[in-house]
Amino acid sequence: MKKLLLSLLLTVAFAVPAFSQMMDMPMKEHREGHGQMMEMGNMDKMSDMMGMCIEHADEMGLTDEQTMKMKPVHSEMQKKQVRFKADVKIAEIELMEIMEVKDFDLEKARSAVKKIAEIKTVHHLEMLKAMKEMRTMLTDEQFKKMKKMMSMKTGEKNRQRG
């Protein structure tokens, strides 16, 4: 029990300064420069992938039917992404409120951290489900084209940062 309490205390102690810095940074900086919240970056990539497929439907050889099936899935994915970011931000603010006092309630902080983790896990699983649904709409050849386009886009972003 003491080890658990000590490890949780150390986690919070090291997380507070990092979290405080994160709260002062725009979300774009979190994804790009700090390796922070990798899963959020991956969720954005999933949405990018769907948007790219729709945007480049002709180049990928998508039929009108495929495009029409993808649009509502993509739209729903975008809405979930916005809700997710808002829910995480709110939960992070709630955690900071708990931790504002010198002698904060460790159990409340623990619960808030678990809430943030649960929000992220549920969202990640929802995005994976949508991604799988979208991929089933593609032929093998279209999937290969999509992967090639995504790697080109990733390479382009890396060159812009470098």
pLDDT at 89 over 90: yes
Per-residue pLDDT, 46: 65
Kindly state the tokens that stand for 155: 């390479």
Considering the entire predicted model, what is its pTM?
0.64
Using one digit for the tens of pLDDT, what is the confidence trace for 123-138?
Answer: 999 989 988 998 999 9
In which band, very low, low, confident or very high, does the pLDDT at 22 lie, cut at 50, 70 and 90?
very low
Question: In angstroms, how far apart are the furthest CA atoms of the chain?
Answer: 61
CA distance 20 to 40: 19
Cα–Cα–Cα angle for 43, 49, 52, rounded to 5 degrees: 140
Least confident of 29-38, 68-77, 89-98, 123-132: 29-38
CA distances from 100 to 28, 105, 106 (A): 26, 10, 12
Residue 123 burial (CB count, 10 A): 20
